[in-house]
Structure 1
Amino acid sequence: MRTVRPKKNLGQHFLTDLNIAKAIADTVDACPDIPILEVGPGMGVLTQYLTAKERDVKVVEIDSESVAYLNEKYPALRDNIIGEDFLRMDLTTVFNGRKFVLTGNYPYDISSQIFFKMLDNKDLIPCCTGMIQREVAQRMASAPGTKAYGILSVLIQAWYDVEYMFTVDENVFNPPPKVKSAVIRITRNNVTDLGCDWQLFRRVVKAVFNQRRKMLRVSLKQILDNVTDDGFYSQPIMTKRPEQLTIAQFVELTNMVNGELNKVNC
Structure 2
Amino acid sequence: MQYTLKKALGQHFLRDENICRKIVDAVQQQPFTQLVEVGPGGGALTKYLLELPDIDFKAVELDEEKVVYLEHTYPQIKGKIIHQSFLDADVPFSGSFMVVGNFPYNISSQILFKVLDWKEQVPHVIGMFQKEVAQRVASKPGNKVYGILSVLIQAFYDVEYLFDVPQGCFNPPPKVMSGVIRLTRKTEVAAMQSHKYFVTLVKAAFNQRRKMLRNATRSLFTEEVLQDPIFDKRAEQLSIADFAALTFRMK
1:80 aligns with 2:80: yes
One-letter identity of the residue aligned with 2:131: R
1:133 aligns with 2:130: yes
Structure 2 CA distance for aligned equivalents of residues 88 and 145 of structure 1: 34
One-letter identity of the residue aligned with 2:68: A
| Greater share of residues in helix | 1
Structure 1 CA distance for aligned equivalents of residues 39 and 116 of structure 2: 19
Aligned to 1:104: 101
One-letter identity of the residue aligned with 1:68: V
The structure that has the greater radius of gyration is 1
1:161 aligns with 2:154: no
1:148 aligns with 2:145: yes
Aligned to 1:252: 245
One-letter identity of the residue aligned with 1:89: A
Structure 2 CA distance for aligned equivalents of residues 21 and 141 of structure 1: 22
Which stretch of structure 1 is more off in the superposition, 60-69 or 187-196?
187-196
After superposition, the C-alpha distances for 1:71-127 in whole angstroms (9 at most, x for unaligned) are 001111101011111111111xx22x1210000000001000000000010001000
Structure 1 CA distance for aligned equivalents of residues 140 and 236 of structure 2: 9
Contact 1:141/1:163 (CA < 8 Å) preserved in 2? yes
Number of residue pairs aligned between Structure 1 and Structure 2: 250
Unaligned 5+ runs, structure 1: 262-266
After superposition, the C-alpha distances for 1:120-144 in whole angstroms (9 at most, x for unaligned) are 1000100000211101100111111
Structure 1 CA distance for aligned equivalents of residues 63 and 108 of structure 2: 16
TM-score (norm 1): 0.91
RMSD of the alignment, in Å? 1.2
What does 1:51-130 correspond to in 2, within 5 Å? 51-54=50-53, 55-91=55-91, 94-95=92-93, 97-130=94-127
Give 1:193 shift. 6.5
1:39 aligns with 2:35: no
Give 1:36 shift. 0.7
Structure 1 CA distance for aligned equivalents of residues 120 and 199 of structure 2: 17
Aligned to 1:264: none
One-letter identity of the residue aligned with 1:197: S
